Amino acid sequence: MSFYKLLKMAMFAVNFIIFIGGAAIMGVGIWIKVDGGSFFAVLENVSVSLKVIANVGYLCIALGAFLMVIGFLGCCGAMKENKCMLMIFFLVILVIFLAQLVAAVVILAFSGLADIFMSYIATWLKEFFKNDYGRGQEMTEIFDALMLQFKCCGMSGYTDFLNSYFLNTTGRFPTACCSNVITCAIPGTVQGCYQVFLNFLKNNTIILGIVALVIAVLEMGAMASSMIMYCQISKMSKVA
C-alpha cells in the first residue's frame, strides 16, 4: 500500500471519529436543553462536581456541530479527494492552531498573573453573590456545585451573602456555607473560595499548557496531512 493511500485512510478514520464524537457531544447538548432534569439526576448520582458540566448545553451543541463540520470536511475531502474541502479543512485547523498557540502562551505565563486575574474575578463574583445569586437557576447551580466541590463559601466567606438577594429572599445561606444543612440559617466556619480557586489555578496552569501543546502537535499533523493530500491531488490532476 502506497503512502498516499495510507494517509488517505488515516485521514478518513481520524475525521470519522471526530465526526462521531461531535455528534455525541451535540446529542448530549440537546438532551441537556430538552430534558435537563433527568440529565441532572444522572450527574448527581455520579458526582456533584460533574453537575457543573450540565449547565453548558448550548456550548455542547455548538462544539458538537463544529466538530461534525470539521469531521465531515476531513472525511469527504479525503475520500472524494476534493481539493476545496481539504483546503477549507486546512484553513479551519490553522485558525484553531493559532488560537491554541496564543492560549498556550497565555496559560503558561498565567502563573505570574494569577493574583491579578483572581482579583478581578473576585470583584465580579462578590457582586454576583450579592445581587444575582439565586435569580438564575443555571448560574446558581454552577456556583453551588463549585462551592460544594471545593468546600468553600463565597469569595471571602459567608459574609459575601449578608444582605444579599438570596438571603433576603430565602432566609438562608447557600448549602456550602452552612454548618446546619437542614435550615442553612446559621453559616458555618467555611473558608472563602478566593484562595482555594487561586491555588487551583496556580497548580493546574502547567498541566493546561502541556495539554494545549499536545493538541497543537496533533493539529499540525492534521494540517500537514491535508496539505500533502492537496498537493498530491494537484500533481495527479496535472498528470491526467
For the question of whether the overall pTM of this predicted structure is more than 0.75, the answer is no
Reported as a single tens digit per residue, the pLDDT across 7-63 is 888 888 888 888 888 888 888 778 767 765 555 555 555 444 555 555 566 777 888
Is the pLDDT at 240 greater than 70? The verdict is no
pLDDT of residue 38: 55
Over the range 120-136, which residues count as b (16 or more CB within 10 Å of their CB) and which as e? ebbeebbebbbeebbee
Reported as a single tens digit per residue, the pLDDT across 197-227 is 877 777 776 676 677 777 778 888 888 888 8
Reported as a single tens digit per residue, the pLDDT across 175-190 is 888 766 555 665 666 7
Among 108-112, 127-131, 153-157, the least confident range? 108-112
- Domains of the chain, first to last: 3-98+222-239 (no CATH), 99-221 (1.10.1450.10)
Can you read off the three cell numbers belonging to residue 74?
476531513
Q: In this prediction, what percent of the chain has a pLDDT beyond 90? A: 0
Can you read off the three cell numbers belonging to residue 151?
468546600
DSSP-assigned states of every residue in the chain: --HHHHHHHHHHHHHHHHHHHHHHHHHHHHHHHHSHHHHHHHHHHH-SGGGGGGG-HHHHHHHHHHHHHHHHHHHHHHHTT-HHHHHHHHHHHHHHHHHHHHHHHHHHHGGGTHHHHHHHHHHHHHHHHHHTTTTSHHHHHHHHHHHHHHT--SSSSGGGGTT-HHHHHHSS--GGGBS-TTT--SB--PPPHHHHHHHHHHHHHHHHHHHHHHHHHHHHHHHHHHHHHHHHHHHHHHH-
Please give the Cα distance from 70 to 86 (Å, whole number): 10
